[in-house]
Structure 1
Amino acid sequence: MPSLLLVVFALQLVLHIVNTVGASTVNDVLWMLYNKLPTPTSGSAQKAQKLKKDIVQLKRELANTSPQDNFSRWAKLDRQHNKAMADFQKIDGSLRTHHTTFTSVVSTLRWVGTQGLRFVLQFWFAKSPMFWMPAGWVPYYAEWILSFPRAPLGSVSINVWGVACASMIALAAQGLAAVWVLVMQKQTPAAAEKTRAKEAAMAFATTQPPPRSGDKEL
């Protein structure tokens, strides 16, 4: 059985990822993965994607075909385009209905598995110490805060441990984001070469002796 400390940490990590990415993005990714599996909507989703490509292709061909010069071909393409649009709208309407139901179910399960589970754990283990602090390590008021609301005095409660995990994860995420920005904003080779050339020119100018006051231009 996994340690309760790790369970709370993993739960806070999942909550941070969901809050950072966005619930709608998570739902869209799960919907896409759901349609990749052999599910009742996978066939309709694949057919809708194929119809969408066909519609784009038919639009291009219609744009490149003149109804005055080649009316028969233009009329044929127009009929194919209208039929593809009708089929796509029919399938897309059915998929939207399934998507709404899927999003509702996933949102409920996500809340139960994250926020709901966190509330249950905090209520069930409210009196259980996550770990004990060394005796006399912190003053009394700090021991009371760390054991809030109902953990034994001198221990760390599950509520405080959850807040500490959330704060640590947020700080780590900010640090990783800062490192990512620094790496992505590094100079390109051309810009770096231009900067080196400019620095070399400035260094050369500073090493030149100043002109003597008696020198005159001819």
Structure 2
Amino acid sequence: MSLIITIFALVFITELISWIGKSVLLDLAYALHQTIFNASTVSRQRKLKTEILATKKELLQTSAQDQFAKWAKLKRSIDKGIADLEKINRELSSNKTTFSFKFNSVLWILTTGLQFVVGWWYRKSAVFYLPRGWFGPLTWWLALPFAPKGSVSVGVWQMACRRVIKVGERVVKDLASKHDLWNILCLLTYLSGYS
């Protein structure tokens, strides 16, 4: 893949992740992680919650004065269930904290870190060359910091890609906020029925 497309793809993926939101991606990835690696713990937690609620319902229907032995047994059962549930919740919370740290680290490495590495590795390379005289005396700025004179450097190309993607994001948000996108989708759906 050429350098121009690689840099654009890296910037696009980084901006897409920021547009979606890291917290949303974290929640989706953690839910997937839970279903794959901690399914038994999560099912045990759900089962325990259901049992505690059923026991509480039975406890509320039991008179503490008339049926003290049954009431005390149910109360001890609830207390034990709550203690077990808190232990499971602490375990899952610890797992989520660890997963969150690892996920954010990998996300940073795959986006920002990779952009730094590509920018450093190709710091003296030209992404592409400009025709003479297009930008006059500002041509030297486009080659900053180390690219050959008359070319566009990796850093400048990253900034330009980021700016274009941000403008595109704003246009999409404006279209969506005005319901134009919804109307276009409805029209396309309507027309696809007549194809």
Q: TM-score if structure 2 supplies the norm length?
A: 0.76
Look up the match of 1:35.
Answer: 34
The residue aligned with 1:3 is: 2
Please identify, of 87-96 and 20-29, the stretch whose mean Cα deviation from structure 2 is larger.
20-29
**After the TM superposition, which residues 188-207 of structure 1 pair with which residues of structure 2 at under 5 Å, given as runs?**
none
Q: Given the superposition, is the C-alpha separation of residues 120 and 77 from structure 1 closer, same or farther in structure 2, using an over 3 Å criterion?
A: same
Equivalent residue for 2:61, pick from 36, 48, 65? 65
Unaligned runs of 5+ in 2: 183-195
Task: Using the TM superposition, give the Cα deviation of residue 167 of structure 1 relative to its aligned residue in structure 2, in angstroms.
Answer: 1.0
1:166 aligns with 2:162: yes
| Superposition CA RMSD, Å | 2.8
Q: In the alignment, is the contact (CA less than 8 A) between 2:59 and 2:74 conserved in 1? A: no
Alignment-derived partner of residue 174 in structure 2 = 178
Distance 1:8 1:69, change over 3 A: farther
Mark the runs of 5 or more structure 1 residues left unpaired by the alignment.
187-218
Question: d(CA) in 2 for partners of 1:153 and 1:168?
Answer: 24
Q: Give identity over the alignment, percent.
A: 31
User: CA separation of 1:156/1:49 partners in 2, compared to 1, >3 Å: closer, same or farther?
Assistant: farther
Higher gyration radius (CA): 1
Deviations 1:125-170 (A, max 9, x none): 01111111122222122x1121111111111111111111111111
CA distance in 1: counterparts of 2:166 and 2:66, whole angstroms: 63
Distance 1:121 1:74, change over 3 A: same
2:116 maps to what in 1? 119
Alpha-carbon separation, structure 2, partners of 1:152 and 1:139: 16
More contact order relative to length (CA 8 Å, sep ≥ 6): 2
More helix by share: 2
**Other structure's SS at 1:46 match:** helix
CA change 1:154–1:71 in 2 (3 A) is: farther
What is the alpha-carbon distance in structure 1 between the residues aligned to residue 178 and residue 73 of structure 2?
56
Q: 1:46 aligns with which of 43, 46, 70?
A: 43
Q: Show the counterpart of 1:149.
A: 145
How many residues are matched? 180
